[in-house]
Chain A
């Protein structure tokens, strides 16, 4: 699909330049800053809509492509485009950023200008990550995002924000630099940074293994997969609401996206050989993440650990290496972005009023904020996977895919759903029912500015739940193409692989 103007570049650089432009606004004009941030993020959302309407679902080819030489000395290009795997993430990013601006309106009180600048820079870098088709460009966006995200957690976060921020930064950086070495090795072997060309190169299995693990270091930390997930509860918990939402809804998706975009097409044999390990780690994350949720006393921390469990479903779906699992995994990411994003927004709304994240400080909230309780219920049910809501579709697909790949994995993942229902409903009960806690007896009800983001997200909860094909339709071609590549590339060396792993 071609369109008359550089759509993706606009989406990437409008927030970046808009954010930098906002630096010029005077110190005391916080109102101007907020409206400017809302303007830029909303404009970007509106501009991203052609991706939804004009996208050609009948092809796996990259669309909205832009290609310009950038650093000719190293053969690096400015090369962007989207396919069925990445397009929804771009849309999710533009949507979530607007909601983040809205939700931060009154809760960010210090260094207001810098906050919104950081938010817009993150948006630009995130979209850049999902659109890049050149490895160097991808890495620039991937790493550059760490800077505003580090500041967002560390400056506007909770009491242990400094610790959480540096932990987040170091974990991700160590993973990323190993990937960097992998990128350089790939470049020297294949002579290009072009991702599409690289996926045509057939690399020896031994090298594929090394590179798979180098990339795994970066993506597994970002997802985060068990056992490198420990930065996530700290970062999610300490970040300001907008930071948690961005982290949960989009940033951690970049890791799973990395598996889909790079690990599978570039190292198909290694991916296939390592699939049992990945499935194993995913199942551990599903169950372990879920069980840990029962022990949490902090609202945000509980939702953060539930993300570990949910992302386990995502990686399970991806490494099931069949269409159901993979489409389920991608849709799961979108759903998780919507639902967990919404849950963090919900927590932010009450946190602004009570400044407490302790579950024990709540109770009986349903009688104080009834509308809010309704929204929270909806997102809780979506998170559990109630049929008719979005979570159900993706969970069903992932478990189906997982079952086809390895029966035990499907069975264990299904118990993860039961665990999920347990901790989410128990959380709901403790916060919204029982006697009204004195702390919250007199807090004000939810305003329109706060309700609007939740309303918007609930539209998607129902839409995806009732008619998932609107979204799955984007993926079919790209997912099939990807799986063909993996299975075709892997078939001729499958014997060797079986020898290596003892078969599975």
Chain B
């Protein structure tokens, strides 16, 4: 236990690769003439790390770090998130006049933080991972230094993020005081032994609030719309998928392993949070005219769906949640890719008005956006439907048929604002000058990947379902 040797690093190999890659990207950025090299390097690093993920299962550092199917599945979500974000960013950063190589390094470090969160078998490691992820994200949110909105987003994100970190730490402290350990599985054993007490319940509530902040569950979602709107669009895309999934990964592990025996005590709160989140996200999204803000509220709503997986619990619930987050990653990044495509020199392209008549001026972009909007609504034959269906199945299976009804009603409400985008694109005539698309090869590749995957999973979900079920254990 006390001896530390190199073999203990074996389960951490993907993380080691990512950490080295983050530093390497920084160095390469100094000498590379084209900053895109740094982006390509980070994608290459991800490819290597991804290769080693399935080969590095095991525990290390006395169970503080756990590499298992569960963490592996989430790591693949993070990798996909990173690759697609880098592809989205290459041209976008040039347009925003913020083409610095550090960007890619920060993305890599943030992803490393997420990987640690997914693999955290100990609350301290969880905290370390979360801070690494969050600090990198704060900088990314304010990456466009000359844009006041970006800086404002970064400050807001930082302040509220720091607040949620404090909540998390406070919760951890209480748990440590009550159980004498920070190891999640030992906490689980101690909780079973000691049963529920008021201080323990308090710590559960603190931890829930902290995860609620990170996953943007209502009423802890307030930061999300402002930050998502102000941050560079590529970073918004990145933040809406990766950190959210990482927070869900930690949420699931801590609550189902650590406090699983108390689930009857906390699922009630979570059910309320989930319904509130769906309501707030879906209803407030209706009145947004800025597409980034609309997608921010939509992302809040989707967190409300995903958390159903934790409410259900067990392998089935987790698998449904993981499956959902995986699918959500593709469809959301795809939608943001279209948003980024509309951003060009001098045109922000964030207003719904900019989408007027897009089907006439740019039929391809409109068709792709149509696919993502229907997928986010959850209409077959797109992946979004498969994701929601799995969740409904898990929720009804756990005996919450009424909750499934509430969910489907909110999901029908969401059709209104997703279809509003379709309506602007297809049913209104273009006004004034047609928007110019800033389509680059890398962005095109990202769109191709996301569209194909969204449709492919929609008609043939079997491999993903088996993978999620296997990973959930």
Chain A positions near chain B (C-beta within 8 angstroms): 70-74, 111, 114, 139-140, 143-144, 146-147, 150-151, 154-155, 161-162, 165-166, 169-170, 173-174, 177-178, 180-181, 184-185, 187-188
Q: How far is the CA of A177 from the CA of B396 in the complex (A)?
A: 14
Q: Are A177 and B411 within 8 A (Cβ)?
A: yes
**Which residues does chain B contribute within 8 Å of A169, judged by CB atoms?**
415, 419
Q: Are B396 and A185 in contact (CB under 8 A)?
A: yes
B465 in the interface (beta carbon within 8 A):
yes
Chain A positions within 8 Å of B422 at CB level:
150-151
Instruction: List the B side residues contacting A151 at CB < 8 Å.
Output: 422, 426
Q: Which of A74, A146, A174, A188 contacts B396 (CB 8 A)?
A: A188
Shortest Cβ distance from residue B437 to the other chain A in the assembled complex, whole angstroms? 16
Given the interface pairs A111-B359, A139-B380, A162-B423, the reply to whether A180 lies near B408 with Cβ below 8 Å is yes
Are the CB atoms of A155 and B426 closer together than 8 Å? yes
In the complex formed, the residue of B with least CB distance to A186 is B396
Interchain nearest-CB distance for A132 vs B (Å): 12
By a beta-carbon cutoff of 8 Å, the part of chain B in contact with chain A is: 359-360, 363, 374, 379-381, 385, 389, 392-393, 396-397, 401, 404-405, 408-409, 411-412, 415-416, 419, 422-423, 426-428, 460-462, 465-466, 469
CA A56 to CA B157, docked complex, whole Å:
68
Q: Can you list 6 A-B contacts with CB-CB less than 8 angstroms, sorted by A residue number? A: A169-B419, A177-B411, A178-B408, A181-B401, A187-B393, A188-B393
Tell me the bound Cα distance from A215 to B379 in angstroms: 18
Given A151-B422, A181-B401, 20 new contacts (CB under 8 A) = A73-B466, A111-B360, A140-B381, A143-B379, A143-B380, A143-B385, A144-B380, A146-B379, A154-B427, A161-B427, A165-B423, A165-B427, A166-B416, A166-B423, A181-B392, A181-B396, A181-B404, A181-B408, A185-B396, A188-B396
CB proximity of A110 to chain B, nearest CB, Å: 8
Q: Given the complex, which residues of B lie within 8 Å of A144, measured CB to CB?
A: 379-381
Query: Chain B residues near A185 (CB, 8 Å)?
Result: 396, 401
Residues on A with beta carbons closer than 8 Å to the beta carbon of B381:
140, 144
For the complex of A and B, list the 10 residue pairs with the smallest distance between their C-beta atoms, beginning with the closest.
A177-B408, A140-B380, A73-B465, A154-B427, A184-B396, A174-B412, A173-B412, A181-B404, A143-B380, A71-B462
Which residue in chain A gives the minimum CB-CB distance to B464?
A73
Given contacts A140-B381, A144-B379, A144-B381, contact A180 B416 (CB under 8 A): no
Once bound together, how far apart are the Cα atoms of A147 and B378, in whole Å?
12
B137 CB → nearest A CB, Å: 34
Q: Give the distance to chain B from A301, nearest Cβ to Cβ, in Å.
A: 21
The interface residues of chain A lying within 8 Å CB-to-CB of B423 are 154, 162, 165-166
- Tally inter-chain residue pairs, CB-CB below 8 A: 84
The answer on a CB contact under 8 Å between B427 and A162 is yes
Please give, as numbers and ranges, the residues of chain A lying within 8 Å of B374 by CB-CB distance.
Answer: 147
Chain A residues with CB under 8 Å of B401's CB are 181, 185
Minimum CB–CB distance for A78 against chain B, Å = 10
Q: How far does the alpha carbon of A187 sit from the alpha carbon of B405 in the complex, in Å?
A: 16
Determine if A147 and B379 form an interchain contact, defined as CB atoms under 8 angstroms apart: yes
- On whether the beta carbons of B397 and A72 are closer than 8 Å, the reply is no
Binding site of B, secondary structure by majority: helix, strand, loop or mixed? Answer: helix
- Considering only CB atoms, which chain A residue lies closest to B402 in the complex? A181
Contact with B389, one of A150, A174, A180 (Cβ below 8 angstroms): A180
Interfacial chain A residues near B360, Cβ < 8 Å: 111
- Quick check: B465 and A71 within 8 Å, CB to CB? yes
Q: What chain B residues lie within 8 Å of A73 (beta carbons)?
A: 462, 465-466, 469
Partner among B359, B415, B426 whose Cβ is within 8 Å of the Cβ of A173: B415
Of the listed residues B385, B396, B428, the one surrounded by the most CB atoms of chain A closer than 10 A to its CB is B396
Q: What residues of chain B lie closer than 8 Å to A72, measured between beta carbons? A: 462
Cβ–Cβ contact B427 & A155, under 8 A: yes
Contact present for B419 and A166 (CB under 8 Å): yes
Interface centre among B385, B411, B427 (most CB of A within 10 A): B427
The listed residue with most A CB atoms (<10 A of its CB), out of B359, B401, B469, is B401
How far apart are the CA atoms of A49 and B379 in the complex, in Å? 32
B379: A residues at CB distance < 8 A: 143-144, 146-147, 173
Bound CA–CA A129/B462 (angstroms): 22
Q: Can you name the residue of chain A whose Cβ is closest to the Cβ of B408?
A: A177
A150 touches B419 (CB 8 A): yes
Residues on A with C-beta less than 8 A from B465 are 71, 73-74
Chain B residues with Cβ under 8 A from A147's Cβ?
Answer: 374, 379
Q: In the complex, A71→B465 CA distance in Å?
A: 9
Q: Which residue of A lies closest to B373 (CB)?
A: A147
Contacting residues, chain B, for A140 (C-beta < 8 A):
380-381, 385
Q: For residue A173, which residues in chain B have a CB less than 8 angstroms away from its CB? A: 379, 412, 415
Q: How far is the CA of A329 from the CA of B404 in the complex (A)?
A: 34
Contacts of A180 in B (CB 8 A): 389, 392, 408
Chain A residues closer than 8 Å to B461, beta-carbon distance: 71
Taking a contact as CB atoms under 8 Å apart, the answer to whether B393 and A74 are in contact is yes
B320 to chain A, nearest CB (A): 12
CA distance A188 to B401 in the complex (A): 11
Asked whether, in the complex, the Cβ of B416 is within 8 Å of the Cβ of A170, the reply is: yes
Cα(A73)–Cα(B428), bound, Å:
43
Taken together as a complex, chains A and B put the C-alpha atoms of A187 and B374 apart, in Å, by 25
Complex contacts, B393 vs chain A, CB 8 Å: 74, 184, 187-188
- CB closest residue in chain A, given B367: A23
Q: Output the nearest chain B residue to A184 by Cβ-Cβ distance.
A: B396
A60 to chain B, nearest CB (A): 30
What's the Cα separation between A140 and B363 when bound, in Å? 25
* A49 CB to nearest chain B CB (Å): 28
Could you tell me the distance between the alpha carbons of A180 and B409 in the complex, rounded to whole angstroms? Answer: 11
B409 with A177: CB separation less than 8 A: yes
B379, B392, B404: most-surrounded residue (chain A CB, <10 A): B379
Interchain nearest-CB distance for A234 vs B (Å):
15
- Nearest-Cβ distance from residue A139 to partner chain B, whole angstroms: 7
Contacts of A187 in B (CB 8 A): 393
**A362: shortest Cβ distance to chain B, in Å?**
29
A185 to B403 CA separation, bound complex (whole angstroms): 13
Please name all residues of chain B whose beta carbon is closer than 8 Å to the beta carbon of A146 when the two chains form the complex: 379
Bound complex: CA of A174 vs CA of B377, how far in Å? Answer: 12
Complex Cα distance, B359 from A50, in Å, reads 40
Shortest Cβ distance from residue B416 to the other chain A in the assembled complex, whole angstroms: 7
State the CA gap A169–B258 with chains docked (Å): 44
The residue of chain A having its C-beta at the shortest distance from the C-beta of B398 within the complex is A188
Alpha-carbon gap, A170 to B418, bound state (A): 12
Give Cα A140–Cα B396 distance, bound, in whole angstroms.
19
- Shortest C-beta distance, A181 to chain B (Å), equals 5
Q: How far is the CB of A305 from chain B (nearest CB, A)?
A: 25
A340 CB to nearest B CB, Å: 26
Query: Are A188 and B419 in contact, CB atoms less than 8 angstroms apart?
Result: no
Nearest residue, chain A, Cβ from B395? A184
Q: Are B405 and A178 in contact (CB under 8 A)?
A: yes
A170 contacts B466, C-beta separation under 8 Å: no
Residues of B within 8 A of A174 (CB): 409, 412
Q: Tell me, in angstroms, the Cα distance from A181 to B408 when the chains sit together.
A: 8
Report chain A residues within 8 Å CB of B396. Answer: 181, 184-185, 188
Q: Output the least CB separation between A367 and chain B (Å).
A: 39
By the criterion CB–CB under 8 Å, are B408 and A170 in contact? no
A140 to B382 alpha-carbon distance, docked (Å): 9
Give the CA-CA distance A162 to B420 in the complex, in Å.
10
Whole-angstrom distance from the CB of A107 to the nearest CB of chain B? Answer: 18
Q: Which residues of A contact B462 (CB under 8 A)?
A: 70-73
A127 to B: closest C-beta gap in Å: 15
* A146, B418: Cα distance in complex, Å: 14
Complex CA gap A155/B416 in Å reads: 16
Contact A170 B415 (CB under 8 A): yes
CA distance A169 to B419 in the complex (A): 9
Contacts of B426 in A (CB 8 A): 151, 154-155
Nearest residue (CB) in B for A150 is B419
A61 to chain B, nearest CB (A): 28
Question: How far apart sit A177 and B405, CA to CA, in the bound complex (Å)?
Answer: 8
